[in-house]
Amino acid sequence: MSTALEETKADERPTSRGRLIWFVLSVLFTVGNVAGGVIAARNGEFVHAGVHALLVLLGGKVAWWLAPGQYALGPAIGEAEVLEASFGDMRDRLQRIEQSIEAVAIEVERVGEAQRFMARLHTPKDADAPESGSSR
């Protein structure tokens, strides 16, 4: 029984070690292309520098995908329940934010109505009436 467990652990080691090696290689690839792009741009070879820029994006994406630890893609086992609970909390928070925004919109409308009312009060009555004498 211990041999099956050892074989499972032996199978897992190369995967994580191989992943780490590929991560380091992709970071070196990305850094090398950054340097190559800078040199190509400095020499006036802008198409060449553009190719290096695309390779930097590709290498960065691969390095991000292979990154160990907290940057690894996907939730870890057991985190799905935590994510679902946080989505429920987010739903409640978004509903409260929506209600707050609606309340602010109503208050802004009231302030606008008050300003229009005050503007009408401060406008002279003669300015509202059309002029009686026409120049025709």
Instruction: Tell whether the model's pLDDT for residue 5 goes beyond 90.
Output: no
Residue 14: partners with Cβ closer than 8 Å, 6 or more residues away: none
CA distances from 114 to 78, 108, 131 (A): 55, 10, 28
For position 31, what pLDDT does the model report?
A: 93
Average pLDDT over residues 17-32: 86
Instruction: Tell whether the model's pLDDT for residue 114 goes beyond 80.
Output: yes
Q: What confidence tier does 105 reach under pLDDT thresholds 50, 70, 90?
A: very high
Q: Where are the domains of the chain?
A: 1-73, 75-124
Instruction: Tell whether the model's pLDDT for residue 84 goes beyond 60.
Output: yes
Q: What is the pTM of this model?
A: 0.41
For position 23, what pLDDT does the model report?
A: 85
Instruction: Tell whether the model's pLDDT for residue 99 goes beyond 70.
Output: yes
* Percent of the chain's residues with pLDDT above 70: 68
What is the residue type of 47? Answer: V
pLDDT tens column, 48-64: 999 999 999 999 888 88
Exposed/middle/buried for 68, CB within 10 Å: 0-12, 13-18, 19+? exposed
- Other C-beta atoms lying within 10 Å of the C-beta of residue 12: 10
Average pLDDT, the chain: 77
What is the residue type of 42? Answer: R
For position 82, what pLDDT does the model report?
A: 63
Backbone angles phi, psi at 73, to 5 degrees: -75, 145
Q: What confidence tier does 28 reach under pLDDT thresholds 50, 70, 90?
A: very high
